Structure 1
Amino acid sequence: MLKYLHTFSGHQNPVYALINSDKEGSFFTGGNDKGVVEWSLEKMVFLMVKMPVQSSVYALHNYNHRLFVGERSGAFSVYDFITQKISARINAHPKPIFSIKSIRYKNELLTSGEDGTVGIWSLIDFKELYRLQISYETVRCIAISPDEKEIAFGCKDNAIYIYNSIDYSLKQVLKDHTLPITSLAYHPSGQYLISGSRDAQLKIWTLPHYELSRNIPAHLFAIYDIAFHPQLPYFATGSQDKSIKLWDANNFKLYKILSLEKTGIGHSHSINKVIWSQDGTKLLSTGDDKKIMVWEMED
């Protein structure tokens, strides 16, 4: 299903953020280093430090020819791919930003922070439109449903808050996890939401009523990311237990475990982020060991 292909090295500190570029075949990383780095998947080489940053990068988001960079300082920067310059820097939160997402139909940007709030910003002029007090603890992750009608916020208080995107009203609170929520992802079909937590459990919530339909003891420690394949019925999870797992997106069967322990190749520390390449042929992973590892899909 997945086999090891390549390791990128060069970061001097843990890496927390990973995202595909506008250009097919390249991607960006950010972490405790003082810059956002661009890498080539085609040539398997370092390309450049795309932009400097003033503090650690915890979130990257690519939308409409712009790269949004969320920092530990609570600010986010906007890098314009067309002008190749930083076009804005906004002091959005008093504490670190952990997630950034966009809502296309509203032309709005969402940022979530350690202060328990979510800022909603205009993608035209980056002015703040609303401020939601989701929790009184960290809002760690954001997931937006495929139809963009609902938004899920995962929080340090162990709860998932479901909001309506039209008016940002609270729809539901899901409280079945026993430890902080660390990852969220909607199935591309919109049939369910998957949540991961420091309790090492994956929970499957069936829409539209978010009924808990499945609980999977998926990892040994916190599940830091969930990534659905862009075309095929698979999703990958990355964990603090240093392993990546590949799952069937329909019946939740475990297909593959990628780890030093299982295969002799893998990350030596916590895995913080996993993404699929734009064409779906590769899975990328990164974490506290400062490496970016590339795994290739096998026929």
Structure 2
Amino acid sequence: MSKIQVNKLHTLSGHNDCIYALVEGPDPRFFYTGSGDGMVVEWDLDKPKDGRLIAKVDHSVYALEVDKERNLLFIGHNFEGIHVIDLEKSKEIWSLKITDQSIFDIKAIGNELYVGTGDGIIIVIDIEQQSVKKHIKIGKKSVRVFAIDPSKRQLAAGLSDHSIKIFNLSDHSPIHNLEAHNNSVFALSYSPNKSIMVSGGRDAHLNVWETKNYSLQESIVAHMFAINYLSFREDGDYFVTCSMDKSIKVWDSNSLKLLKVIDKARHAGHGTSINKVLWSSYNQQIVSVSDDRNISIWQIEL
């Protein structure tokens, strides 16, 4: 592995339970976290110690999403539905009770919001009308993660039935059903600069797919335990994965070589499962959240 320098800049606390959700704000200087304690907190990368409570709900928050054009934050409230926060006014402006299931991921594109639930349904919401447009039953098990390819207008969904399903965003018609992993798919992302999609899951494998026909290009045993999430750097040249094995790994997108392992022993990393990771487009720092209730901010010199 190359001599990449890693510097842990901050450890942020404030949540009272495992942190499951992490999303970059419309202004990427800010990011948002959601936890098993029902709290959603705003953090400022310029003043990271000053977390600000944005919302408090009754159940765990597994999913957060932002609408950059409307400056909205969508909160997935387990067993209830979604809450919508106007970030300029810092207040809730509407909500929808849409499910009695867990909400594992939310993605917004254009005027549509896609909500993935524990009973294998994608709920499509019209943001302007603040109403449900459609329920799409795509499996018997949980919809765990979404990824959107805006250039091809495609939505990918990773499921607990081990599959990845690809849909056309225009009419929500199915395009591909990929037998992707040997267990649940938790991590999924399209590259910003290459025609590839990367997936990861409970089987600890990273799978790399070309996105013309979605053929599998490479499968890598990447972690010891489940891969919970992955995030590309803005330019697409690198990405990071995080795992139940308590480590963060940095990868070269071109060679698919492992460049760095960030863990507790070597870098005072997290002590328990790392649930989400974000490569900030604001300052290229890496943000990670964990079952240990802490947020870590890392500077990486590539």
> 1:43 deviation in Å?
1.9
In 1, Cα distance between equivalents of 2:80 and 2:181: 27
Q: 1:20 to 1:56 in 2, by over 3 A?
A: same
User: Which of 283, 288, 291 lines up with 2:291 in the alignment?
Assistant: 288
RMSD: 1.4
Question: Could you tell me which residue of structure 1 aligns to residue 156 of structure 2?
Answer: 152
In 2, Cα distance between equivalents of 1:123 and 1:200: 35
User: Which of 88, 108, 114 lines up with 2:94 in the alignment?
Assistant: 88
1:72-151 pair list within 5 angstroms: 72-104=78-110, 107-151=111-155
User: Which of 50, 66, 71 lines up with 2:72 in the alignment?
Assistant: 66
> 1:91 deviation in Å?
1.2
Question: Could you tell me which residue of structure 2 aligns to residue 196 of structure 1?
Answer: 200
Q: 1:42 to 1:221 in 2, by over 3 A?
A: same
Deviations 1:221-244 (A, max 9, x none): 111101000135100001010000
Give yes or no for contact 1:230–1:279 (8 Å, CA) kept in 2.
Answer: no
> 1:270 deviation in Å?
0.3
In 1, Cα distance between equivalents of 2:294 and 2:274: 10
- Tell me the percent identity: 36
> 1:83 deviation in Å?
2.9
1:151-230 pair list within 5 angstroms: 151-230=155-234
Task: For residue 47 of structure 2, give the secondary structure of its aligned residue in structure 1.
Answer: coil
Moved more, 1-10 or 246-255: 1-10
In 1, Cα distance between equivalents of 2:281 and 2:54: 20
> 1:93 deviation in Å?
1.8
User: Which of 267, 271, 290 lines up with 1:268 in the alignment?
Assistant: 271
> 1:50 deviation in Å?
1.1
> 1:280 deviation in Å?
4.0
Question: Could you tell me which residue of structure 2 aligns to residue 19 of structure 1?
Answer: 23
Task: For residue 141 of structure 1, give the secondary structure of its aligned residue in structure 2.
Answer: strand
Q: 1:254 to 1:47 in 2, by over 3 A?
A: same
Question: Could you tell me which residue of structure 2 aligns to residue 277 of structure 1?
Answer: 280
> 1:27 deviation in Å?
1.6
Deviations 1:193-246 (A, max 9, x none): 111010000000112100001000000111110100013510000101000000
In 1, Cα distance between equivalents of 2:33 and 2:78: 15
Query: What letter is aligned with 1:272?
Result: N
Deviations 1:149-174 (A, max 9, x none): 11111000011111111111111111
Query: What letter is aligned with 1:275?
Result: L
Q: 1:259 to 1:19 in 2, by over 3 A?
A: same
Give yes or no for contact 1:187–1:228 (8 Å, CA) kept in 2.
Answer: yes
Task: For residue 44 of structure 1, give the secondary structure of its aligned residue in structure 2.
Answer: strand
> 1:130 deviation in Å?
1.2
Task: For residue 252 of structure 1, give the secondary structure of its aligned residue in structure 2.
Answer: coil
> Normalising to structure 2: TM-score of the pair?
0.94
Q: 1:145 to 1:290 in 2, by over 3 A?
A: same
Aligned length: 296
Q: 1:228 to 1:31 in 2, by over 3 A?
A: same
User: Which of 288, 296, 300 lines up with 1:297 in the alignment?
Assistant: 300
Give yes or no for contact 1:145–1:190 (8 Å, CA) kept in 2.
Answer: no
Deviations 1:50-109 (A, max 9, x none): 1121211000101130000002224110001233210111112220110000122xx111
Task: For residue 124 of structure 1, give the secondary structure of its aligned residue in structure 2.
Answer: coil
In 1, Cα distance between equivalents of 2:22 and 2:295: 9
In 2, Cα distance between equivalents of 1:144 and 1:120: 14
Query: What letter is aligned with 2:281?
Result: Q
In 1, Cα distance between equivalents of 2:226 and 2:121: 23
| Uncovered stretches (5+) of structure 2, i.e. residues with no partner | none
In 1, Cα distance between equivalents of 2:261 and 2:186: 20
